[in-house]
A and B are shown apart, each in its own frame.
Chain A
Amino acid sequence: MANYFTENTDLLFQFDRLQLAEVVEIAEQGYTEAAHYDFAPTDYQDALDNYRKVLEIVGDITANTVAPQAAAVDEEGSHFAEGRVTYAAGIQEALKRLTEAELMGFTLPRRYGGLNLPTTIYTMAIEMVSRAEASLMNLFGLQDIAETINKYGTEEQRQEFLPQFASGAATGAMALTEPDAGSDLQAVNMLAYQDDSGQWRLKGVKRFITNGNAEILLVLARSEAGTKDGRGLSLFACYGKDDVKVRRIENKLGIHGSPTCELQFNDTPAQLIGKRKFGLIKYVMDMMNGARLGIAGQALGISQAAYEEALSYAKAREQFGKSIYNIPVITNVLMDMRVTLESDRSLLYAACHWVDLRNKLEEKIESLKAAGKDASAENAKLKEATRAAALLTPMVKYVLSENANKITYDALQVHGGTGYMREFNVERLARDARITNIYEGTSQLQIVAAIGGVINDIFADFFSAREEKENPGNLANLADELKEMRALFLDCLKYVTDKTDKHFQSVAAKELVELYSYLYTGWLLMEEAEQDNRKVFIARRYIINAATKARRNAEAIKKDLFGDLLYADDVLV
């Protein structure tokens, strides 16, 4: 039987490379959980066995139950009648299966019914779900909402909400966007007030809410009357269904299986999550970072699906007396797709590693502090992990979502006219991919989030250490390319920071972030190439290609490509 885990050699390669010992040690509290739960691991090897087995289940369900329904889900879409939203039949079936398989509380603690798995493993599951049916990820991937309650809610709130998520009885939604507050969430207007009894209530409208028909909503609202910015916003949990009115669902280009709702809150009773005024600046930022990693996984899953479609079509399609797979220009396109896919996967799981490490170190430090113990060693590590995660999360979201668009575009191109027809899967994939670089923060906003880490050159030590290593044969040439690329980056960085022009800096940020992503990904692939001969090919194509793009980016900066922005009004007639 098909399996999206056991048959995906590159995903297995990344799985086998995982170094989660420190993360799992903390997550399993020194493997003491095994004394209370028969499904908790007894040591690191046992944990890896568990992860592999769980991913095999996901691989089975996604390949055999979800994927065959994807075209039907796209065709049927979600339904909206008499204020109620109904999922497409294929989505309902998929959720039922995932629930039966006990996969809806992936990262939640076991005491609330969850599986207590690391974000890395969850992201691997997200990748497979998205490969099978992109919009299902929007429901499966909303486990971050439960995660936020777990992290910032009270024990009472955890006990109330988390088992509902873990058992699959409830799905979640994060209600942030409003008609006048999209990228700029500081402008959120939804009113939160306390009635005479002290009960918090919500009033206002939210728009473009993914799965807004969910049973449990996390809502960003203005709790501080008279404020205008993000510091007046707090986060609330409330029940959907009867308490929140769905006014309409959107008619979208892609991800048809996930309903996007406009919601009206009419004095809806709600619970404050965490502290007042920290809604946007802390909790939502945190939740969105988790969600961004999920979207990166979604983008990668769609890319994988598109690549598979293109590869099998190219092999089967004959023109000029041979399969087009053997026509060099097509082979070249397929190679580009494959190399992008594998380099994307390296970057994604490197990012996940840092996110897991940061999350678990935070937990450990908290418990050390509570026990009155010294946490200085952990604090130093946490600082490093926090910086890496803060840069890599938006970077990976940016890179993978843009690449998903490129890969699906190319996959459609490989199909020729056939790809433009709805009978084939690839046009759906191209439509589904299009949202990934828009929602959870557009690509432009990911650049804004990533540029700080790039300007501070946070991987400087990592790069220097790599550069000092000896590399054999072909890899030595590639290392030289990366060294040159770094010199180029440092030169550009100095140029941009020296030029104290904020507008210029904001525009050049894209070029800098991209340069930095080439460097970091390039070194990751070098590491893999040392392990596996086949990966030398991946590293080679990636790095040579990246080097040419790096030179382009550097020239754009140094030759003042953006200088004409000052004359925008004259150009944009």
Chain B
Amino acid sequence: MSYHSIVMVKQVPDTANISGQVMKPDGTVNRSKLPTVFNPEDKVALELALQLRDRYGGTVRVVTMGPLKASDLLRDCLYMGADEAFLVSDRRFAGADTLATSYVLAEALRKLSPYDMVFAGRQAIDGDTAQVGPQTAEKLGLPQITYAEGILQAEGSTITVKRKIDKGFEVLEGTLPLLITVIKDAAVPRPFRAKRVMAYKNAHTLLELEKMAEANSLLYADQLKEEYVSKGLFIPTFTADDLDVDLKRCGLGGSPTKVHKIESVVLGASEHETIPANKDGMYALIDKLMEDHIFG
């Protein structure tokens, strides 16, 4: 039996390569100054979905909510082998916390149903909340398996998943359709495939086509769209108008999370302590690090 999967992916700031100017004076992040990357665990989630397709057949679609720039991420998904990609984007969705994000994504998934499985990374490296996957499942009434480190097998409407727990793993069975969040160790993402990269390098979202039209008075977005659809290079975009959403539940307005304050914490060497180089010293060091929440 073949399975149809949807992978929820996110473009995140490349936290490994942060330069100056990324923090605005008001404490929020200046995203335009940040290099972006494919959220690592989402990439693993896509890999797992592709492996499932390699094994059982079916399709893999990806969906992301984000601004214009997120179009890059969707092309990356096509390069890896995703069959179709969808952008969910609207100014009215901006500033969403996990509650408002999962609300919109759940509505987008309703549009994309039917499906057998929804995959997502456990968490994104920018917020580290690990909430969007579970909240989306909740809203759709889907069973969920979080922290998946592998799919052991799928048979009929039952899937067997290996799930990481504190001191080992457990093996769970779930009934489809269901949502799975994936941890980094689950798989090594495959490289981009050369032929797909060449074929899809000019695939564009509606937002990108609109931008092209804005920049050139001879181009019209609807004509461009037609042209790109006919070439198989159009990445569909859902706006608030395309989804059955209550705008009060979207974006900043729909987000109960309020950022109180962001501090830049610099761990300076204000004092130093000599720890004897013996067993007791080691234990003392570990205790100290635990106390400061550097360990544990």
Residues of A within 8 A of B (CB): 1, 38-41, 49-50, 53-54, 57, 60-61, 65, 97, 100-103, 115
Contacts and interface: CB of A to CB of B under 8 A. Distances in A.
Interface string B66-78: 0000000000000
Contacts of B37: 1
B55 interface: no
Contact of A39 (B192, B198, B232): B198
Contacts of B193: 100-102
A499 B140 CA distance: 91
B224 interface: no
A19 B215 CA distance: 30
B201 A38 contact: no
B199 A38 contact: yes
Given A38-B232, A49-B201, A50-B201, A100 B195 contact: no
A530 to B, nearest CB: 32
Contact of A53 (B190, B191, B201, B232): B201
Nearest to A110: B195
A362 to B, nearest CB: 25
B245 interface: no
B53 interface: no
A57 B197 contact: yes
Range of interface residues on B (Cβ < 8 Å):
10 to 19
Contacts of A1: 37
B197 A53 contact: yes
Contacts of A54: 194, 197-198
Contacts of B201: 49-50, 53
Contacts of B195: 39, 102, 115
23 contacts: A1-B37, A38-B199, A39-B195, A39-B196, A40-B198, A41-B198, A49-B201, A50-B197, A53-B197, A53-B201, A57-B191, A60-B192, A61-B191, A65-B191, A97-B190, A100-B190, A100-B191, A101-B190, A101-B192, A101-B194, A102-B193, A115-B194, A115-B195
A39 B194 CA distance: 9
A61 B194 CA distance: 12
Nearest to A52: B201
A344 B196 CA distance: 33
Contacts of B232: 38
A165 to B, nearest CB: 15
Contacts of A50: 197-198, 201
B54 to A, nearest CB: 11
Interface in B194-225: 194-199, 201
Contacts of A38: 199, 232
Nearest to B192: A57
B199 A39 contact: yes
A197 to B, nearest CB: 41
A115 to B, nearest CB: 6
A101 B193 CA distance: 4
Nearest to B201: A53
A63 B197 CA distance: 19
Contact of A60 (B191, B196, B198): B191
Q: Which 8 A-B pairs have the closest CB atoms?
A: A39-B198, A101-B191, A38-B199, A39-B199, A102-B194, A39-B195, A50-B198, A53-B197
B194 A57 contact: yes
Nearest to B231: A38
A65 B37 CA distance: 18
Nearest to B233: A38
Nearest to B16: A1
Nearest to B190: A100
B188 to A, nearest CB: 9
Contacts of B191: 57, 60-61, 65, 97, 100-101
A97 B195 CA distance: 14
Contacts of B192: 57, 60, 101
Residue of B191, B196, B197, B199 with highest tally of chain A CB at under 10 A: B191
Contacts of A102: 193-195
Nearest to A50: B198
